[in-house]
Amino acid sequence: MEPRGDERAGYTEALSENIRKRPYTSLALALGTGYVLGGGLTSRTTVRVLSLGLKLAMIPFVQDKLLNAADVVLREALKRQEGGVS
């Protein structure tokens, strides 16, 4: 079903207004859409970028776990040291 002329004008006006209000978001959306439609999702570059992104996203979680483990080990070592000195 083809939109009528007044509906199409409404869409065009809304789109133009959105582009005026948020030009960088609109540009990023256009670039992303072109990349996907151009077959970029199946490229090696995309796999590499997603892999790097996942690794970078995991850093805070791994860092938090390592810091917690180190804290527990250090607290236990201090308890043993204090117990042996007395």
Residue-range domain boundaries for the chain: 1-41, 43-86
Q: pLDDT digit string (tens) for 11-43? A: 889 989 999 999 999 999 999 899 889 888 888
| Residues 26/18, Cβ–Cβ less than 8 Å | yes
Q: How many angstroms separate the CA atoms of 27 and 18, rounded?
A: 11
Q: How many angstroms separate the CA atoms of 81 and 64, rounded?
A: 26
Q: What is the dihedral of CA 60, 62, 64, 67, to 10 degrees?
A: -130
- The CB-side HSE value for 30 (13 A sphere, CA atoms) comes to 9
For the entire predicted model, the pTM comes to 0.46
Sign of the four-CA dihedral 72, 77, 81, 84 = positive
